[in-house]
């Protein structure tokens, strides 16, 4: 699944060569994942699922986990003790919360139960959670309830992910409520931190909101492709990427 999401359409023959399995075995695996809605069968190959729905949360938790941990560790080194934070929904912000679990004197405001759970064992972290209708599939709150929640506060940092980034710099998500909550976080923070692994660049997602040039910091696992840099340079974005948390001034 990670291979397909990273490469787009992949033929059965390419999958067979890449994984050292027979085409028959690959077809069985593809059929099973397609029946579960995790991949989309097409003539002679397979591609990521289409439409406005994201993958199941538990599936996303294991996709590109190593990259997400690299990003999360860099954010944890960047955020000082004693800070106030908005942390948004998604698996990369959840990894950031895990990486922040040993920080002290943090005040965290979140619309994600997964983020709250990751930080809840640390008595040095004060956690406030958005009220409203719970999206059981993702264990989070979006829409007007989350927007109203974030607008009540002013914090040091907002930390959030996106569903995708278009080549023109547009930030993309799967749901209008996700965009509204994210924009409220950015408005209420002194410094905004976008956390996105390399596969988010060029990923087609239906709902737009905000530009990458409007964020203060981009934390990623590798330098974005060159075609995205003009959009990044339109702002004052600092790009944090390996090795050693290298910062590239846009």
pLDDT of 184: 97
Residue extents of the structural domains in the chain: 2-50, 59-249
Neighbours of 105 (CB within 10 A): 12
pLDDT of 249: 62
pLDDT of 6: 66
On average, the pLDDT of the chain sits at 90
Q: Is the pLDDT of residue 44 over 90?
A: no
Which structure tokens are listed for 123? Answer: 């008595």
pLDDT of 107: 98
Distance (Å, whole) CA 192 – CA 75: 12
Kind and range of the H or E element at 65?
Answer: helix 65-78
Q: How confident is the model at residue 50 (pLDDT cuts 50, 70, 90)?
A: low
pTM score above 0.85: no
The pLDDT tens digits of the residues spanning 126-142 come to: 999 999 989 898 899 99
Residue 162 DSSP class = -
pLDDT of 38: 75
Q: Is the pLDDT of residue 211 over 80?
A: yes
Mean pLDDT of 154-168: 95
Mean pLDDT of 16-24: 92
Q: Is the pLDDT of residue 192 over 90?
A: yes
Distance (Å, whole) CA 12 – CA 42: 10
Q: Is the pLDDT of residue 166 over 60?
A: yes
Q: Which CATH number fits domain 59-249: 3.40.50.1360, 3.20.20.80, 3.40.50.20, 3.30.70.360?
A: 3.40.50.1360
The DSSP bridge pattern shows strands 238-241 and 217-219 to be parallel
Comparing 49 with 46, the larger pLDDT belongs to 46
Q: Which CATH number fits domain 2-50: 3.60.15.10, 1.10.10.10, 2.60.40.10, 1.10.579.10?
A: 1.10.10.10
């Amino acid at each position: 699944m990670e291979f397909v999401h990273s490469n787009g359409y992949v033929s059965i023959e390419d999958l067979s060569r890449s994984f050292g399995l027979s085409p028959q075995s690959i077809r069985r695996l593809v059929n099973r994942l397609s029946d579960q809605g995790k991949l989309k069968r097409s003539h002679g190959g397979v591609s990521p699922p289409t439409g406005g729905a994201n993958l199941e949360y538990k599936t996303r938790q294991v996709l590109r986990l190593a990259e997400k941990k690299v990003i999360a560790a860099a954010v944890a080194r960047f955020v000082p003790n004693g800070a106030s934070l908005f942390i948004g929904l998604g698996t990369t912000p959840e990894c950031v919360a895990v990486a922040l679990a040993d920080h002290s004197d943090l005040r965290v405001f979140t619309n994600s139960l997964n983020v709250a759970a990751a930080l809840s064992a640390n008595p040095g972290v004060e956690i406030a959670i958005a009220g409203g209708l719970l999206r059981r599939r993702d264990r989070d709150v979006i829409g007007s309830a989350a927007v109203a929640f974030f607008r009540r506060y002013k914090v040091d940092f907002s930390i959030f992910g996106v569903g995708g980034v278009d080549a023109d710099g547009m930030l993309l998500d799967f749901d209008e409520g996700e965009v509204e909550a994210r924009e409220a976080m950015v408005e209420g923070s002194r410094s905004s931190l976008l956390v996105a692994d390399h596969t988010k660049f060029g990923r087609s997602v239906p709902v737009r909101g905000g530009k990458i040039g409007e964020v203060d910091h981009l934390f990623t696992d590798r330098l974005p492709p060159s075609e995205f840099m003009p959009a990044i340079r339109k702002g004052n974005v600092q790009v944090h990427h390996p090795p050693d948390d290298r910062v590239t001034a846009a």
